[in-house]
Structure 1
Amino acid sequence: MTHPAERRPGSLRSLLLWILVPAQLLVLSLALWFSSSQLHHQVDLAYDRSLAGALRAIDHNISTASGGLSVELPYLMLEFFELTANDSVYYRILTEDGLADIGNQNLPLPDTRLASNAPVFYDRDYLGASIRIAALARPMSPPLYGQKQGRVIVMVGEDRGGRDQMIRDMMIRNIVRDLIEVLASTGLIVVGVLVGLRPLTRLYRKLKDRAPDDLSPISAPELPREVRPLVDAVNQHVARHARQARRQRQFLDDASHQLRTPLAILHTQLDYALRESDPAEARAALLAMRGGLDQAQRTAAQMLALARAREADTDASPPRPVPLTPLAQDVIRQLYSLARRKRQTVAMDGGELGATVTGIEWLLREALVNLMDNAIKYSPEGGAITLRIERAPDGIVLSVRDTGPGMTETDIRKAGRRFRRGQAGKRAHGAGLGLAIVHTIMRRHGGVLRIEAAMPGVQVSLIFPAAQGFPAKSSV
C-alpha cells in the first residue's frame, strides 16, 4: 500500500488547470452575485423614481381648503405610468387619523410611523400579488375639522411583476455574457498553459535523447525566466559530475599507466625465480621482487592520496585551526622507523613553534608525510633531515631540508607534475606523485609549494599566506 506522502505528484499542466479553472468559476459566481445585488438596487432605484413622481403629482392635487379632503387625480399621468410599468397601479389618500380615506383603502401602510415630507418605499402583498408602495406624509394646510394640526398620507403602489421580469431578463443576459467570457478565458488559460509548458516538453525530449556520456551543459534559451534557475542548478550538478568522472577516468588511466610496468617486472622476476635452480639466485630474485612490490605499494598509496587531495574540493569538512608543531611531531614519530633503518637523524629546528594555520588537518598531514617520506627516501645512509617552522614576510613557512643528491633547475621548475621522473645522477627515478600531492594540497589551502637547492640536498617549503584564511574552492 502506497503511503500518502509517497504518492507521485501530478503533472504541472494538470496542477495549473485544476487551480486556474475552478478559480475562474469561483470568480464568475462572485461576479454574478455582486451583479445581481447591484442590478436589483439599480432597477428599484429607477422604478422608485417613477413612483416618487406619481406620488408628488397626486400630492400636488390634494386640497383641504373646502373643509374636507379633496383630490383631483392626474388620470393622464397615472395611465402613462401604468403603461410604463406594464402592471397595475394603485393609489390611496387618507388623513392620518383615518377619518378620510380615498382610493384603494386596503393598500397597506408601512409598519412604522412616517416622517413628514420624506417618501418611504416598501414591498407588500396586496390582492395576491407583490407590490411596491411609495408613501408620503405631510402636514395638512389648512387642517380639517378645526384641528390645530394634522397630516395627510399619500400612497402609490405598483405590481412588481414588471420590474422583476426586467431583472430576470437582465440577469439572464449577464449570465450568458459572463459564461461566454469564462469559456473564452478558460480556453485561453488552457492554451496558455499548454504553450507555456511546451519548452519544458522540448527540454525533456532533448535530455531523453542524449547519449549516456553526454555531460555538456543544457542550453535552452527559450525557457521561461522562472525555470532558468533550475536549469542552472542542473548544469552545476552536471558539471560537478563531469569533473568527478574526469577524475575517476584520470585515476584509472594513472593506475593502469603506473602499475602495468611494475606488475610486468614482477611477473618476469617470478618466472626467473621459478626457473632458477641456484638458491642464492632465486633468493636474489625474490628480494628484487620485494623491492618491486614495495615500489608498487608506495605508488598505489600515493595515487590514492593524490585522488583524495583532488577530491578535497568537494570535501564537506570545515576548515579549523591546525597547530603546526604538534602536527610535525606526529609525522616525525610516524616515519621515524624509516629514518632509523638508514641511520638518519631527524630534528626540528626552533622557529615559530606556536604557529597555527587554518585548514583541513588530514590534508596538511598528508602533505607533510610526503615531504618527509621524500627526504628520508632520497637522503643517503647517515644523512640528516631538518624540519623548521618560521614566520616570513610572505606568511608562515613549514620547511623540510634533506642532505640528498639535490635537484637540477629543470627538475625544480617541473616539480609538482605527476609522473615526472628525475634526471639520472640526481634524485632517483620516481613517479613524481609525492610533490604533486603536496602541490594540490597547497593550492587547496591558498598556499605555495617552493623548492630550493641547498648545499647539500634540497629544501622544500610550504608557505601559508600571512592573512591565513580559507580561499574559494579551485578545480585541480
Structure 2
Amino acid sequence: MNKPKSLRAQLLSKLTLPLLFVVILDAAASYYVATHFTNQAYDRWLLDSAKSLVQEVKTQQDHVTFELPPIAVEVFRWDDMDETFYKVESQKTGFMAGDDGLPSPAVSALTKDQPFFFDGEIDDQPVRVVSVLTVPKTSTEQVIVSVAETVNKRRNMMSELLLAVILPQIVLVLITGFHIWTGVNRGLSPLNDLARMIARRSAKEFDPIADAGVPLEVRSLTNTINALLQRLGSTLITQQRFIENAAHQLRTPLAGLKIQAERALSADNPETMRLALTHIKNSTNRLTHLNSQLLVLARSESISHSAPELQRIDLTRLVRECCMDWVPRALDRKIELGFDAPDSNVQISGDDVLLRELLGNLLDNAISYGRPGGHISVSIESSPHARLIVDDDGHGIPCSEQDKIFERFYRVPGSPGDGCGLGLAIVKEIADLHAAQIKIANAPAPSQTGTRIEIDFG
C-alpha cells in the first residue's frame, strides 16, 4: 500500500530543489570566476618577473650569458607566503642558472616573446610556471626563461573570494527557505481551516460551507464539497421518503393480514374461515409483489451507482419471450396481447434481467388498468435506432399526471386495483441505467384511447 504523500513536502521540494540547483550552479560559476581572476592576477606578476629576468640574458663574445647578483636573487625569491623559482636554459648549452629541478616546457609549445603558462611540480609542491622564449641581440641562440611559484597565495585569495561570494548566498538561501516554509504554511492554512470546519460538522449537517474570504484555488474545492453535500442531502431525504412510503405501503396489507387472521381464528363456520383465508392470501400476494418490486428497485439503484456491465442483447428475442410469459395473465382478463418486430435481430447493450423487469412492469400496468376484452400491442422498431413501444386501449393517463407517474409510490388518483406505485418508477430507473429515453402519450388511432409508452434506446 502506497503511503500518502504530503502536499507540504511536495510543494517544498518543488520550490527548494530549483533554488538549490541555482545556488549550486552559481557556486560553480563563482568558483570558476574566482579561479580565473586569481590566476590572471598572479600570472601577470609571474610574467613581469620572467620579463625582468629576460633582460638579464645577454650576448658576450658570441656567447649567451645570464648574470644576476646574489642580492637581486634574494630580492627576487623573497615572499612571505610562497616560494619562488626560476630557471634559465639554452637550447644549445642546456641549463644556465636558477633551479634545475624546475620543469621545462615543451619547446614546440613556445613562441618567441609569447608567454606560455602551465602547472607543474617541484619538490612535490604544486607550482604555477610561465616560460618565455627569447633570442638575445646579435645572437641566434634561443633561451628559455621560466619563473614559478607555489600556489599558496592563489588558494588563499580564491578562498577569500569564494567566501565573500558564497556566504551572502548561503544567508540568502536561508532567508528564502524561511519565507518559502512560512509561505507554504500560509498557503495551506485555508485547507487546514476547511478540514477543521468539516470535522466539527455532524453527520446530518448538509448546509453549504461558507466560502467568504477563501482563496480562489480553495474555493473550487469548497464548491465541489458543497455540491457533494447537496447531493448527499438530497439522497438522504429521498431515502427517508422511500422508507416512509415503503412502511406506509407495508402497513396496509400487514394490518389486513392481522385482521383477517383474527377473523379466521374466531370464525365458527368453514365459510367464514375460507373467506378470511382468501383475504389473507390476497394480502400475502400484495406483500410478495411489493417486496419483489422493492428488491428490483434496490438492485437497479445499486447497479446505477457503480459502473454497469451491459452486454449485447437481442431485444427482439427478449421481448418475444417476455410477452409469451404474460400471455396467460392477459387471457385471464380476456385481453389480446400482440407482438410485432422486424424480421432481423435488434441488438442493444443492456442487462437481460433488468430489461425483462422493465417490460414486465409495463405489461403488468397495461393488463391491470386496461379494459377487459381490450388489446395490448408490443412492438419493436429498429430505425433510426432501437425502440420498444407498448400500446394499450385502457382509460389512459391524464396529461396533468404524466410527469408524476414515474415518482415512487405515486398513483393516479382514482386508479382501480391495489398497486403500490412502484412499477413505473422501476421502469424509469432501469431506463436511466440503459441511457434510454421514456416518452408517454395517448394511444394512436384508431382507438384514440389508452396509453402509449416508448422506450428509446438511441
**TM class by shorter-chain length?**
0.7 to 0.9
Supply the RMSD in Å over aligned alpha carbons.
4.4
Deviation at 1:65, TM superposition (A): 6.3
Q: How does 1:63-142 map to 2 (within 5 A)?
A: 63-64=58-59, 67-69=62-64, 89-98=84-93, 101-102=96-97, 104-106=98-100, 108-110=102-104, 112-113=106-107, 115-117=110-112, 118-124=114-120, 131-142=127-138
Deviation at 1:308, TM superposition (A): 4.4
Q: How does 1:172-211 map to 2 (within 5 A)?
A: 172-211=163-202
Correspondent of 2:426 among 437, 457, 475: 437
Q: Tell me what 1:212 maps to.
A: 203
Cα distance in structure 2, aligned partners of 1:79 and 1:32 = 40
SS in 2 for 1:69: strand
Q: Give the residue type in structure 2 aligned to 1:295.
A: R
Question: Tell me, which stretches of 5 or more residues in structure 1 are unaligned?
Answer: 144-148, 470-476
Q: Does 1:428 align with 2:417?
A: yes
Judge conservation of contact 2:300–2:354 (CA < 8 Å) in 1.
yes
Q: Give the residue type in structure 1 aligned to 2:132.
A: L
Q: Tell me what 2:39 maps to.
A: 44
**Cα deviation 1:439-459 (Å, max 9, x = unaligned):** 444454123133438887954
Q: Give the residue type in structure 2 aligned to 1:208.
A: A
**Cα deviation 1:294-338 (Å, max 9, x = unaligned):** 223223333443454555543522555544432222212333343
CA 1:126 to 1:305, structure 2 compared with 1: closer, same or farther past 3 Å?
closer
Q: Tell me what 1:146 maps to.
A: none
Deviation at 1:177, TM superposition (A): 2.9
SS in 2 for 1:211: coil
Cα distance in structure 2, aligned partners of 1:294 and 1:350 = 32
Q: Tell me what 2:324 maps to.
A: 333
Larger mean CA deviation between 266-275 and 406-415 belongs to 406-415
Deviation at 1:153, TM superposition (A): 1.9
TM-score after normalising by structure 1: 0.76
CA 1:385 to 1:299, structure 2 compared with 1: closer, same or farther past 3 Å?
farther
Deviation at 1:438, TM superposition (A): 3.0
Larger mean CA deviation between 117-126 and 273-282 belongs to 117-126
Judge conservation of contact 1:122–1:132 (CA < 8 Å) in 2.
yes
Deviation at 1:151, TM superposition (A): 0.6
**Cα deviation 1:65-87 (Å, max 9, x = unaligned):** 65343569799999998899975
Cα distance in structure 1, aligned partners of 2:224 and 2:392 = 49
Deviation at 1:258, TM superposition (A): 1.4
**Cα deviation 1:57-109 (Å, max 9, x = unaligned):** 4435643265343569799999998899975655444432237835x354624
Cα distance in structure 2, aligned partners of 1:21 and 1:438 = 59
**Cα deviation 1:395-448 (Å, max 9, x = unaligned):** 765444456566666666754444444454x64364333233334444541231
Cα distance in structure 2, aligned partners of 1:323 and 1:129 = 95
Q: Give the residue type in structure 2 aligned to 1:375.
A: A
Q: Does 1:302 align with 2:298?
A: no
Deviation at 1:111, TM superposition (A): 5.1
CA 1:75 to 1:50, structure 2 compared with 1: closer, same or farther past 3 Å?
farther
Cα distance in structure 2, aligned partners of 1:396 and 1:29 = 68
Q: Tell me what 1:55 maps to.
A: 50
Q: Does 1:348 align with 2:344?
A: no
Deviation at 1:288, TM superposition (A): 1.5
Correspondent of 1:371 among 355, 362, 365: 362
Q: Give the residue type in structure 2 aligned to 1:387.
A: S
Cα distance in structure 1, aligned partners of 2:161 and 2:404 = 92
Q: Equivalent pairs: percent with the same residue? A: 26
**How many residue pairs align between the two structures?**
452
SS in 1 for 2:48: helix
Cα distance in structure 2, aligned partners of 1:289 and 1:319 = 40
Q: Give the residue type in structure 1 aligned to 2:348.
A: T
CA 1:167 to 1:224, structure 2 compared with 1: closer, same or farther past 3 Å?
farther
Q: Give the residue type in structure 2 aligned to 1:335.
A: W
Q: Tell me what 1:473 maps to.
A: none
CA 1:190 to 1:82, structure 2 compared with 1: closer, same or farther past 3 Å?
farther
Deviation at 1:47, TM superposition (A): 0.9
